[in-house]
Structure 1
Amino acid sequence: MSPKEQSFLTRVQQILPQLHPAERRIGEFVCDFPGELASYSAQELASLAHVSKATVTRFIQRLGYENYEEARRHARAEKATGSRLFLTTSADAAGEQSIVAHVAQSVENLQATFLGVGETQLNSVASAILSARKVWVIGFRASAPFASYLQWQLTQVIEQVVAIPASGQTLGEHVVSMKSDDVVILFGLRRRVSNTDALINQIRKTGARLLFVTDEEVPFLASAEWHFRCQTLAPGPLFNHVSVMALCHLIITRSIEHAAASGRTRLRNIEAINEALDEL
């Protein structure tokens, strides 16, 4: 792979052992906080890393960029992928964030998320889930635990629900079975796998109704019947997924409410069998 095809961070990491002390200091700083280069001027970055502007210029040239602006454009492009490494700042690392700050951000995330998720949309999703031939729940990386949780909880109210793919399986083995009277719930939280767009295109071809659950950075997807965007801002180095779990809880609860008597009967039967098996 030529240097121009490499990611910004790969360029820095590969050249780091060859750098002189001052340049290595800026290199190590950029490795820890690459988003700083995307956000600040050369002079500001020099000040943050405690080196001269001339050192920053030499460092950028050693990376193979013509100038600082070219390097910053490259860093900004990688920042847009959603890596938390690019979203963490040197100010964040200066000290611990208080519990109050984390709780306040969680509350703000919940409020921002549910401004975009109305009762009508939620009721529509619940009705679709209950009437579907089969519900498919998909999630990778950070999205995988939420997909698994939603599928597990939905079994309380519907029979035909599956989280895919299981270990050793491919998506094609499942997508080929999707029908127009199915519902697909796809979690696409940062950082998304590279084949997300291709997967959405394949789901669209099946005619299945799609619920797309993402973070706030994803533009609205016109081909999805529902697109819920969850606010995931955080004062620390990780994404805050409180609003994602709250959304899962609401989808499950509303589905149980819409199932009415049949849903309550299924829940009672599940509990009776659990008791008979002495599992819990």
Structure 2
Amino acid sequence: MEQLDARLKGQYAALSPQEQRVADFIFDHFDDLISYNSAELAQLSGVSKATVSRLFKRLGYEKYKDMRDELRTLRQSGMPLADHRDAVQGNTLLARHYKQEMANLTQWVNALDAQQFAGAIAGMVEARRLVVIGMRNSWPAALHLRQQLLQARGQVQVLPQPGQSLSEELVDLTADDVVIVMAFRRRPRIIRPLLQQLQRDGIPVLLMCEPQAHALLPLTRWRLCAPLDSVSAFDSYAAVNSLINLLANAFLHETLERGRPRIHRIADLYQQLDELEQR
């Protein structure tokens, strides 16, 4: 379906001068549009509410609300769309940000399936090696999880490395390994065929994703979800990092007999190589 900005550009020359005023305002404030109702858009554009209504009917929307619903759907897919309510309603961004972050944390903690979590930890403990896959926004999260797990055990790999394709790295995987796939929204298209291939090959997979990724869940053995909801344009990864922290700590607890000596050896190497500033 053609998106709002493309519809406006395609019909701009045929719009009345008043409708063009609305269109110009939308082009300048597109990221904020989701937060305006039709009366606010009319007031900010300097036109009547009837003009706004006529414009959106011309663009193919039965109601103004249909356009806002379309933008919300895009936002849920991960497209950055800012919210301008701080200016419109006088709210403070910090207060709303804090409220949303706490809601995200509460949501994933309450939704956590204890059986799934315990199964994933057991699989990771028994695995010959762990492979963490993350692309785009999931790449930093994959790196962070790998770094935490590496404190407690060896044979933890993160893929893909820059300039690397996946096939050469995946060909040697067996059922004795565990693949942790970080697949948060705005995923590359390869994620689904990747999960399908791993499933066909009998490779145990832990999927970490947002709660809306329902279609991917049947392709995995375990899944852990964290919401990315944000008050503004960009997704929040606070809940993701909190989940990573819990996963890494639970893993360390289960491997403490082997993990503690490794941690001490790593600390000794830090000192011998003078890698870290000592405070």
The answer, yes or no, to whether TM exceeds 0.5 is yes
Moved more, 264-273 or 210-219: 210-219
Q: Does 1:91 align with 2:88?
A: no
SS of structure 1 residue aligned to 2:262: helix
Contact 1:186 1:210 in 2 (8 A): yes
**Residue in 1 that maps onto 2:142:** 147
Contact 2:31 2:80 in 1 (8 A): no
Contact 1:188 1:213 in 2 (8 A): yes
Structure 1 Cα separation of the partners of residues 199 and 32 of structure 2: 35
**Residue in 2 that maps onto 1:164:** 159
Q: 1:25 to 1:91 in 2, by over 3 A?
A: farther
The structural deviation recorded for 1:43 is 7.2
SS of structure 2 residue aligned to 1:222: helix
Contact 2:133 2:158 in 1 (8 A): yes
Structure 2 Cα separation of the partners of residues 243 and 21 of structure 1: 47
Structure 2 Cα separation of the partners of residues 167 and 197 of structure 1: 21
Give me the CA root mean square deviation. 3.3
Q: Which runs of 5+ in 1 are unaligned?
A: none
Structure 2 residue corresponding to 1:26, chosen from 4, 22, 41: 22
Number of residue pairs matched by the alignment: 270
Q: 1:51 to 1:135 in 2, by over 3 A?
A: farther
Contact 2:8 2:23 in 1 (8 A): yes
Contact 1:8 1:78 in 2 (8 A): no
Structure 2 residue corresponding to 1:244, chosen from 234, 240, 244: 240
**Residue in 2 that maps onto 1:199:** 194
Structure 1 Cα separation of the partners of residues 5 and 146 of structure 2: 37
Structure 2 Cα separation of the partners of residues 67 and 119 of structure 1: 44
Deviations, residues 34-57 of structure 1 (Å, cap 9, x unaligned):
6857996x7786466543434553
**Residue in 2 that maps onto 1:216:** 211
Identity within the alignment, %: 26
Q: 1:265 to 1:67 in 2, by over 3 A?
A: closer
Contact 1:106 1:242 in 2 (8 A): yes
Mapping 1:35-74, distance limit 5 Å: 36=33, 46=42, 49-52=45-48, 53-54=50-51, 57-58=54-55, 61=58, 65-68=59-62, 72=67
The structural deviation recorded for 1:15 is 6.2
**Residue in 2 that maps onto 1:178:** 173
Q: TM-score, normalised by structure 1?
A: 0.80
Q: 1:277 to 1:141 in 2, by over 3 A?
A: same
Structure 2 residue corresponding to 1:134, chosen from 118, 129, 153: 129
Amino acid aligned to 2:54: T
The structural deviation recorded for 1:60 is 6.0
Moved more, 175-184 or 19-28: 19-28
Q: Does 1:81 align with 2:81?
A: no
Q: TM-score, normalised by structure 2?
A: 0.80
Structure 2 Cα separation of the partners of residues 109 and 55 of structure 1: 35
Q: Which runs of 5+ in 2 are unaligned?
A: none
SS of structure 2 residue aligned to 1:141: coil
